[in-house]
Amino acid sequence: MSSRGAACILIVVALASIGPGAMRTARGQAADRAIEFEDLGFTRPGEPGVRSSALCAFAASATDATALVLNTAGLARVKRVHGGVALAYDGSRVDVDYGNGATGDDQGALRLAFAGVAFPIPVLRGSLVPAVSVHRAFTSDLAIDYARDNAADGRSETFEMEQRGATYAYSLGVGTDLSSALSAGVSVFGLDGSIDTQRQYDWQPLVTDPAEHTFVLEDIASDVSGYGAQVGMQLFLHERASVGIRFNTPTVINVRSVGVHEETRQVDNDVGSFVREETDVSTEYIIPYRVDGAIAVPVRSLLVTAQVSYVNWGEAAIDGRRILTQETDPVLDTVVGFGGGVEWSPARLPLRLRAGFEHAPAPLRYLQTDRIDNDRLDRVQVESGRTRIAAGAGLLLRSRIVVDAAWVLTSGSRESNILRDQYRASLVSVQGTYWF
Amino acid sequence: MTTIRQFRSGRAAILLLLAAAVTGPLAACYTLVQHPRVESLNYRRPEGKSCTGCHTSRAINDYLHPEKLASDPPPWDSLTHPWWISPDSTGGDG
């Protein structure tokens, strides 16, 4: 295929991914489902780069195959053919507290985080670098467990949810030097993944006359697909400073969920019922566009980098409908995050040490406080935001093999009038890269 | 109003994508068609031609030192040295 033909395909796919997010503005009843963006992991994009995970900034400093995901323009700085594989262990815990004590369960799994190769080709202005990769775009592991008296619905209830799954992005892109100081890149990706969810809950009326007890089991298997695109730019303002800008188009995600809903109702006079229903539901989620801007400055043996990210979550949509309350207040709102890190390369040692910090508010401005009926949003009153601290190291072996490792700890809490939740997650990732 | 703003931002994004997607392949095509093979040159001047006839010394220097930021000190700089340039090549006059 000629490079012009390939460019045409890239443009068509990129434009197709912009359309749905940019044009759909209708209001609807999707507000109560806003929590699904968070439950499915769509608000926590994957971390394909072990080095960038530790630095907490990537748009100006990604210089290997992971640049295909982090900032496609960074591919232009790849000057040798190489391939890398990264594995990551994600552990997380969500504690929910309705005022009667926090409860939650630990979740964790080891999965592929990134695998990719880049092929630099010399061209007039430097290099043209095509690359392909697969990376974990979203992790959907989640465990929620609580019991409470629900006065509004007049019942005592328990709720338990266990969910496991991951969605991978298959990316194809190219970065190139446009001049001695400017490089640019473009990429497209398709999503494929699966999520298994089990929800179990039961309730009894607070006033028992007669005594009733209802048990529900939902077992749902979901297939995830989707697509999106990215454009990146890196500009060398000065030999001691470069800036990078990454623009991710809105991402369209289709989730088809096939499940079983079993409801058993017991009554103390032995009159009860059992209902089993099979469900098959398809939902389209739109994740809004995202812009990241970063600067990288080398100072002797240090590389200092900082980054700002912007996502207008108010543009998120479910089945074409934006997520607004009846008062037209957005349930998810704009998020501006900032982060930065430092990398130290000791003179003449094949070792690099790095550390970073990042902070961003959570997109949800309302919490779903009734997960059984999914019908009660409560505005967040106090929020700590999501804070990440990270550390890592890189080791160069035999001038060709690079082994990177990173450890990231993320935490945050939110509080509404009805509930308080606390999120903690740890990530340990290792990447091996061979440079030909 | 919201729709107009979204349409404009969508149009700007489309133009940005178009510019990036067209300029990259064009730069590559121009080199492959018009320029002597870069791998074979390895920055030795072709007979009867001079790199400086088309490129500034600054551009040639930038090309020979593409890491630009000097953020890759030894021994990491070996990973950013272009495979199509011999390590002992000094370049400079194209």
pTM (2 d.p.): 0.83
Tell me A314's DSSP state: G
Closest Cα of chain A to B2: distance in Å? 8
A197, A98 in Cβ contact below 8 A?
no
Residue A7: its chain B contacts at CB < 8 A? 21-22, 24-25
- A408's tokens: 């990231």
CB contact B15 to A (< 8 Å): no
More confident residue, A240 or A205: A205
Distance CA A82, CA A118 (A): 6
pLDDT tier, A11 (very low <50, low <70, confident <90, very high otherwise) = very low
Name the 3-class secondary structure at B25: helix
Distance CA A174, CA A71 (A): 11
Phi then psi for A408, rounded to 5 degrees? -130, 135
More confident residue, B4 or A17: B4
Residue B72: its chain A contacts at CB < 8 A? 63, 345
Q: Which residue has the tokens 């504690």?
A: A95
Query: Cβ neighbours of residue B90 under 8 Å, at least 6 residues apart?
Result: none
CB contact B39 to A (< 8 Å): yes
CB contact under 8 A, A185 and B59: no
Tell me what the pLDDT averaged over chain A comes to.
Answer: 89
Question: What does the pLDDT look like over A402-433, one tens digit per residue?
Answer: 999 999 999 999 999 999 999 999 999 999 99
Optimal mutation site among A64, A125, A245, A403, interface B, most CBs of chain B within 10 A: A125
CB contact B11 to A (< 8 Å): no
Q: Count the neighbouring beta carbons within 10 Å of the beta carbon of residue A128.
A: 26
State the first-to-last Cα distance of chain B, in angstroms, to the nearest integer.
55
CB contact under 8 A, B13 and A79: no
Question: What does the pLDDT look like over A254-305, one tens digit per residue?
Answer: 999 999 999 999 887 777 889 999 999 999 999 999 999 999 998 888 999 9
Measured N-to-C along each axis, helices A3-23 and B2-34 cross at an angle, to the nearest 10 degrees, of 170
Buried b (16+ CB within 10 A) or exposed e, A298-327: beeeebbbbbbbebbbbbbbbeebbbbbee
pLDDT of A29:
57
Task: Name which of B17, B68, B76 is nearest A236 (Cβ-Cβ).
Answer: B68
CB contact under 8 A, A181 and B10: no
